[in-house]
Amino acid sequence: MATILDGKAHADRMLEAVRLGVEARKAGGLRAPGLAVVLVGDDPASQVYVRNKSAACAKVGITSLEHRLPAETPQAELDALIDRLNADPEVDGILVQLPLPKGLDSKRALHRISPTKDVDGFHPVNQGLLLEGLPGLRPCTPSACMSLLAHHGVDLKGLRAVVLGRSEIVGKPMALMLLEQHATVTIAHSRTRDLPAVCREADLLVAAVGRPGLVEGSWIKPGAVVVDVGINRIEDEALGARIFAAEPKKLETLRAKGAVLCGDVRFGEAMQVASAVTPVPGGVGPLTIAGLLTNTLQAANG
Ligand code: NAD
C-alpha cells in the first residue's frame, strides 16, 4: 500500500510559515500584506474559491480586499480596476479569479497586473523568470506541489518525471520546476501517442488534465510517486463504477450523495502500485491556496 501524501497537513505547515512571516513584518513595524481578489460575475465555483481564499487570508493575518464586479462589466472597467490596484500602495498581490465571464479577455487582464503583484505567477514576466530559473512569483499549484515533494524527501535529481497536461497554470510550470531540480522531464498531453506507456516510465507522475480517473493503476510504474492535480466532480454512476472499482466507499458516496470529487488518477488502483499518492480531495487542492498566500507574503516583502 502506498503512503498518502497529505496535502492538507502540508498546506497547514505552509500557512503557519506565512503566519510567522506576517507576524515578523508587523513586529518590524510594517503593515500586514494586502491581497486584492477580483471576482467578475457569479460563477458558483469561483465564489467558493474566493470565499476560501479570504478565509485563509484571515487565518494568517493577510488583509484580503474583495472586488466584485457584475458579469456584464466591460473590459475597460476591469482594466481600470487593475490599474488602480497596481497603483495602490496597500495592495501587495492581485488575483483575478478565473474563468472570467464570456466577453472578457482573461489574458489581457492577467497581462495588465503588475508583475510584482502577480501572486498567481501567470504574467509573462514571471513565466519568463521561471523559464530562466530566476526568482520571481511562481504559479501557486506547481510551486506548492514542489514544496510537498521536498517535504517528503522525494529526490528529484535524475528521476524520470512525466507531467500529464501542458497548461500555463500547472503542466508547463510544473515541468520547468522539476527540470530546475534536475529531473528528466517528459510533458505528455492530449495528442501524446501511447499515453499509458509514457506514464509507465515515470518515477514521478504528475497528472493535471481534468479527466476523471484517466490514469489507471496499470499506467503506473510500481513504486512511483503520484501527484494528482485534477479536481473533477462526477455524478455519472456508470463512470463512477468504472473508476472507483478499487474504492467501493467512494462509489457508495457517489450513489448516496449524487456526486463526488475525484482526481485524474484512479486513487484506489494507484494506492496498490505506487509508493506515494496525493488524494483528491485533500491533496493538491489545499496546497494551492497555501501557495497563493506564500506568494502574497513574498510580494509584500519585495
Ligand atoms: P487545462 O484544461 O488548461 O489543461 C489540461 C491539459 O490536459 C491540456 O494540456 C491537455 O493537453 C491535457 N489533456 C486533456 N485531455 C487529455 C487526455 N485525454 N490525455 C492526456 N492529456 C490530456 O487544465 P488545467 O488548468 O491545467 O487543470 C487541470 C486539472 O487540474 C483540472 O482538473 C483542474 O480543475 C485541476 N486544477 C487543480 C488545482 C488545484 O488546486 N488542485 C489547480 C489548478 C487546476
pLDDT of residue 113: 98
Ligand 1 contact, 232 CB (< 6 A): yes
Question: Cα(263)–Cα(279) distance, rounded to whole angstroms?
Answer: 8
Extents of the domains making up the chain: 29-114, 140-285
| Helix/strand/coil percentages in the chain, nearest 5 | 45, 15, 35
pLDDT, tens only, 14-55? 999 999 999 999 999 999 999 999 999 999 999 999 999 999
Ligand 1 contact, 173 CB (< 6 A): no
- Tell me, yes or no, if the two domains 29-114 and 140-285 fold the same way: yes
**Minimal-distance CA residue to ligand 1 atom 15:** 190
CB neighbours of residue 196 within 10 Å: 11
Residue carrying the nine cell digits 503520484: 226
C-alpha cell, 178: 522539476
pLDDT of residue 88: 98
Quick one: which atom of ligand 1 is closest to the CA of 166? 9
pLDDT of residue 16: 98
CB neighbours of residue 255 within 10 Å: 12
Segments of the chain scoring below 70 in pLDDT: none
Fold that domain 29-114 belongs to in CATH: Rossmann fold (3.40.50)
Ligand 1 contact, 263 CB (< 6 A): no
Pairing status of strand 63-69 against strand 276-277: unpaired
CB neighbours of residue 155 within 10 Å: 12
Q: How far is the CA of 206 from the centre of ligand 1 (A)?
A: 11
Answer yes or no: is 291 a known binding residue. Answer: no
Contact (Cβ atoms closer than 8 angstroms) between residue 58 and residue 87: no
Answer yes or no: is 167 a known binding residue. Answer: yes
Question: Cα(161)–Cα(93) distance, rounded to whole angstroms?
Answer: 32
**Minimal-distance CA residue to ligand 1 atom 42:** 141
* Pure H helices in 118-213: 124-132, 140-151, 171-180, 195-200
Q: Is 53 one of the catalytic residues?
A: yes
Residue carrying the nine cell digits 509507465: 200
Quick one: which atom of ligand 1 is closest to the CA of 264? 32
Amino acid making up residue 11: A
Residue carrying the nine cell digits 450523495: 257
Q: Is 92 one of the catalytic residues?
A: no
Indicate the pTM of the whole model: 0.96
Q: How far is the CA of 126 from the centre of ligand 1 (A)?
A: 21
Q: Which of 210, 220, 271 is nearest to 246 (CA)?
A: 271
Residue carrying the nine cell digits 474504492: 247
152-to-9, 175, 258, 263 alpha-carbon distances in Å: 12, 19, 35, 21
C-alpha cell, 86: 497596481
Contact (Cβ atoms closer than 8 angstroms) between residue 177 and residue 146: yes
**% of residues, the chain, pLDDT over 70:** 100
Q: Using CA atoms in the order 127, 133, 139, 140, what is the torsion angle rounded to 10 degrees?
A: -170
Contact (Cβ atoms closer than 8 angstroms) between residue 123 and residue 112: no
Could you say which of 92, 117, 118, 120 is catalytic?
120
pLDDT, tens only, 215-254? 999 999 999 999 999 999 999 999 999 999 999 999 999 9
- CATH match for 140-285 among 3.40.50.1370, 3.80.10.10, 3.40.50.720, 3.30.9.10: 3.40.50.720
Q: Is 127 one of the catalytic residues?
A: no
